[in-house]
Amino acid sequence: MKTNYLFLFIALLLTACSGKDDRSDAYGNFEVDDVMVSAESTGKLLLFNVEEGKKMSANELVAVVDTTDLVLKRNQLVAQQKAVSSKIENIRSQIDVQKQQLANLKTDKDRIERLLKDGAATQKQLDDINGQIDLVNRQIGSTNTQYTTVQSELEVYTAQIAQVNESIRKCSIYNPSEGIVLEKFAEPGEITSFGKPLYKIANMDEMILRVYVSGDQLSQIKLSQEVEVFIDQDKITNRKLTGTVSWVSETAEFTPKIIQTKEERVNMVYAVKIRVKNDGSLKIGMPGEVNF
C-alpha cells in the first residue's frame, strides 16, 4: 500500500513539472538588443579583429580603414594654410608701416599748423599734408580689407583640416559596447564603404523573452512586475527562471506564426517584453513561457 502511495506521489510530481500549458500564461521566444556596427568611411580594411562568438569589451579597437588618401589631403591643406599664413604676416607688416607713416604725417601737420599761425608756412603746405594723411588712411583701409579676406581664407583651410582630421578619426572603429559578436559581414583586406555593416554584437548577460497576451490578460501585467519564466530542461520537465516585465505594447497585432496553432495566430494580441538574467543557458530564438 505504501508503495502505491509512493508511485502516486511521483506521478503527481512529474505531472506538476511537465504541465507547461497548465502553468503558462503566454509563449514566445528569446531575443536580444543587438547593435549593428557599420563603417563610417570608405577604403580598405587594414585591420578587422572580429570573430563570431568572440566576447569583446567596450571601446576596444576592432577595425582600421586605410587613411593614406586622407593623410595626403591633410598635408596638402596644411601646406596651403602655411602659405596663407605668410601672406597675413606680410599684410600685418604693411599695416604697421602705414600706421607709422600716418603718425609721422600727423606730427608734421601739427608743426605746419603752428608755423602757419606764425606766418612761417603756407596754406598749400597744410593742404598737401592733409592730402597725404587722407591717402595713407585709404591705404590702411585697403590693406585691412586684404587682411580680412586672407584671414577668411585661412579659416576655410582650418575648417577643411578639421574635417579631414574627423574623417581620419572615423577610420578607426571602436566596439560600442561589451558583448558577444553574433555575426560578421566583412574580412580584412576588403573594401568597405560608409554605412556598410561590419558586424553585429549583443550583450548576452540579459535576454528578452517576447511573448504575446490577449486583451483579457493585460490587467494582470504591470511594468517592473516580477514573473515566472519557464524553459525546457528536458523532454518532460521545465526549468523556472525569474524575469521582469520591461515593456508592454500599446497596440494589438495578429499573433505571429511561431505561436501555437493556426486558430490562435488569427487572434489579436499584445506584445510583452520580459528581461531575464542569462546564466549561459538562454539562446537567441529559444522558446520560453511565462506565468504572470
Q: What pLDDT does 100 receive?
A: 92
Residues facing 275 on adjacent strands: 208, 244
Q: What pLDDT does 4 receive?
A: 42
Q: Based on the domain organization, do 95 and 47 belong to the same domain?
A: no
pLDDT over 60 (residue 266): no
Q: What pLDDT does 236 receive?
A: 83
Q: Based on the domain organization, do 182 and 42 belong to the same domain?
A: yes
CATH number, residue 136? 1.10.287
| pLDDT one-digit tens code per residue, 125-153 | 888 889 999 999 999 888 888 888 899 99
Q: Based on the domain organization, do 89 and 230 belong to the same domain?
A: no
Domain-embedded: residue 2: no
pLDDT over 60 (residue 233): yes
Q: Based on the domain organization, do 97 and 124 belong to the same domain?
A: yes
How far apart CA 164 and CA 170 sit, in angstroms, is 10
How far apart CA 142 and CA 137 sit, in angstroms, is 9
Domain-embedded: residue 6: no
Q: What pLDDT does 116 receive?
A: 83
Structural domain harbouring 208: 22-33+203-291
Q: What pLDDT does 200 receive?
A: 97
pLDDT over 60 (residue 15): no
Domain-embedded: residue 16: no
Domain end position, chosen among 148, 170, 192: 170
Largest distance between two CA atoms of the chain: 149
Domain-embedded: residue 91: yes
Q: What pLDDT does 255 receive?
A: 65
3-state SS, one letter per residue, for 125-179 = HHHHHHHHHHHHHHHHHHHHHHHHHHHHHHHHHHHHHHHHHHHHHHCEEECCCCE
Q: Based on the domain organization, do 226 and 285 belong to the same domain?
A: yes
Q: What pLDDT does 24 receive?
A: 78
Q: Based on the domain organization, do 214 and 286 belong to the same domain?
A: yes
Contact 141, 96 (CB under 8 A): no
Contact 170, 40 (CB under 8 A): yes
Number of continuous H segments (helices) and E segments (strands) in the chain: 5, 15
Per-residue pLDDT band for 263 (boundaries 50, 70, 90) equals: low
| pLDDT one-digit tens code per residue, 68-92 | 999 999 999 999 999 998 888 888 8
Domain end position, chosen among 153, 170, 187: 170
Residues facing 210 on adjacent strands: 29, 273
Q: Based on the domain organization, do 214 and 81 belong to the same domain?
A: no
Q: Based on the domain organization, do 129 and 266 belong to the same domain?
A: no
Domain tally, the chain: 3
Q: Based on the domain organization, do 192 and 268 belong to the same domain?
A: no
| pLDDT one-digit tens code per residue, 43-66 | 999 999 999 999 999 999 999 999
Q: Coil, strand, or helix at residue 40?
A: coil
Query: Can you tell me which residue has the cell 572580429?
Result: 50
Q: Based on the domain organization, do 136 and 74 belong to the same domain?
A: yes
Domain-embedded: residue 110: yes
How far apart CA 230 and CA 243 sit, in angstroms, is 10
Domain-embedded: residue 156: yes
Domain-embedded: residue 4: no
CATH number, residue 217? 2.40.30.170
Q: What is the residue-averaged pLDDT of the chain?
A: 87
| pLDDT one-digit tens code per residue, 205-225 | 999 999 999 888 888 899 999
Q: What pLDDT does 292 receive?
A: 87
pLDDT over 80 (residue 265): no
Instruction: Specify the pTM.
Output: 0.69
> Quick one: average pLDDT of 190-208?
95
Which of these, 277, 289, 280, lies nearest to 231 by C-alpha position? Answer: 289
Domain end position, chosen among 186, 202, 218: 202
Domain-embedded: residue 51: yes
Q: Based on the domain organization, do 59 and 180 belong to the same domain?
A: yes
Q: What pLDDT does 11 receive?
A: 40
Per-residue pLDDT band for 12 (boundaries 50, 70, 90) equals: very low
CATH number, residue 51? 2.40.50.100
Q: What pLDDT does 2 receive?
A: 40
> Quick one: average pLDDT of 211-240?
89
Q: Based on the domain organization, do 243 and 218 belong to the same domain?
A: yes
Cell triple for residue 102?
A: 600716418
